[in-house]
Amino acid sequence: MKVYFAYYPEGKKKALTMSYDDGQIHDRRLVEIFNKYGIKATFHLNAGILDTPGFLTSTEIKDLFQGHEISAHSLTHPFLTRVPGEVVVHEILEDRKRLEALAEYPVRGMSYPFGDYSEELAKTISYLGIEYSRTVYSHGSFRLPDNFLIWHPTCHHDDKLLERCREFQKPAPWDQMRLFYVWGHSFEFERNNNWELIEEFCKMASDDESVWYATNIEIVDYINALRNLKFSVDRKMVYNPSAIAVWIGVDGEAVKVEAGEMVTL
């Protein structure tokens, strides 16, 4: 019996997630485009900069980002590797605290301000309730990360986005669990006068039954649940201790393992 991890929810083999930083007012237009095409995204916000000129207001973010994910980006956007440890703790915890009061759910992820990170910083934020953090260093592929606390994206939206989307839509037969992870800032569309790029991308990427459209934290939760499955030595039994259902490959077929369920394979 061949058992392997190859499927996202509903037996899909591909996933798309978007990641946008800073919380400027142009997020409003970006969310409208995402919602129009059923694309899900994560928005990384600096709680200490909200309510200032050019940025979103605190009172609007819960409703604006409904169906998407509100995530941390530090309180005031410093270079986190260049400040004392005490400042790192304050920047992350206070950002989480304020955003959680607005979002009304735990904020569990972030992106590194300026993409500035280190192994030590990644370890520190894991002690502060952060379960993943995105960098700005694109790898150009569709692979899953080894370490969600140093999560490199596929590409910035200005880096061959439509070409990469076409590549994503035509996987090789041996590809398993492709993840297309796009990042950027909404103000860049306004600055570069290329809103048509993200509109065209969303139209191209939408309504694909083979793709799971997910937020960053949904990807993290699903992959962690998949990796935490408990198999018997002979791989004829599997137990899912998590709170979400997962799909595994068994002799080439997708098999659903419900939350809290023991399955005989």
* Other Cβ atoms within 10 Å of 100 Cβ, number: 17
pTM above 0.75, yes or no: yes
For the chain, residues with pLDDT lower than 50 are none
Please give the pLDDT value at position 1: 85
12-225 has which CATH code?
3.20.20.370
What is the rounded CA–CA span in Å between residue 142 and residue 153? Answer: 9
What is the rounded CA–CA span in Å between residue 140 and residue 152? Answer: 9
Strand 262-264 relative to strand 237-239: parallel, antiparallel, unpaired? antiparallel
Please give the pLDDT value at position 252: 87
What is the rounded CA–CA span in Å between residue 175 and residue 223? Answer: 17
β partners of residue 257: 246
What is the rounded CA–CA span in Å between residue 53 and residue 257? Answer: 49
The answer to whether the CB of 45 falls within 8 A of the CB of 71 is yes
Please give the pLDDT value at position 82: 97
Which residue carries 């709170």 as its tokens?
A: 243
Phi, psi of 138 (to 5 degrees): -75, 145
Please give the pLDDT value at position 235: 93
For the chain, the domains span 12-225, 228-264
Amino acid at 14: K
The CA R_g of the chain, rounded to the nearest whole Å, is 19
Please give the pLDDT value at position 174: 79
